Amino acid sequence: MLTNLVIPKNYIPKNRKPSDGFFITIAGNVGAGKSTFTKLLGEKLNFKTSYEKVDDNPYLEDFYQDQARWGFHLQLYFLSQRFQDQKAIAAANENHIQDRSIYEDAEIFAKSLYDNGKMSERDFHTYSELFYAMMSPYLVKPDLMIYLDGSVDTIIDRIHQRGREMEKAVPREYWLNLHNRYTKWLTEYKESPVLIVNIDKVDLVENPNQIDEIIGEIKKLQNHDVRRPRELRSIVK
């Protein structure tokens, strides 16, 4: 099975109007293929798209060389970018696909830095307060999260395929730590239905026809009332 649609146990559907856009966010470890999914799904579905700032990120290379020194700066940079994205998505209220969910910033990456002693308690507290204060007025809950799930070996293979030297030099333990955090985080996530895509089997570059199955699952969700999760379970293969 390439995909699996999951309705979180404690999921509370947001109040939607018929005129509201359908908002999809794509989550997953570094190298999972979020940008590729965002681009190809956006083109197929004719959705607006937004991407995580990576290639022109002024802190990312320094972060991979010294995470303790630059982790706080990097997270503030991502917070600034995500804040602008959230404001734009909320204002436009259009069909939209976002490369990386807002939740991952605070609940995966910043928390990992803090837990591993690479962000001080003072900085983590400051970051967390700022994150929730800035995001609360503009937070748009997704109608669907697509989670790109795969083995650490697949993640590392894809990191090496795309060839960013700063990522290729990172030890396996770092990616494994993030992988384990994602696995736990997914069990606690409750903001939206989750379409889990098995990236050990799905490669939209090598097998572009696989996107049709994913789009089919998205359309099933779009065409049914997400306030009836039991009914949704019955229509998923």
Q: Which residues are catalytic?
A: 99
**Residues whose CB falls within 8 Å of the CB of residue 224, separated by 6 or more in sequence, listed in order:** 231, 232, 235
DSSP string, 160-213: HHHT-HHHHTS-HHHHHHHHHHHHHHHHH--SS-EEEEETTT--TTT-GGGHHH
Q: What are the angstrom distances between the C-alpha of 18 and each of 21, 22, 45, 94, 219?
A: 8, 10, 18, 12, 16
Count of C-beta atoms within a 10 Å radius of residue 2: 16
**Closest-CA residue to 156 (of 61, 23, 30, 40):** 30
Distance CA 191, CA 161 (A): 32
The residue ranges of DSSP E strands in 8-150, in sequence order, are: 23-28, 48-50, 96-99, 144-149
Give the gyration radius of the chain's Cα atoms.
Answer: 18
**Residues whose CB falls within 8 Å of the CB of residue 209, separated by 6 or more in sequence, listed in order:** none
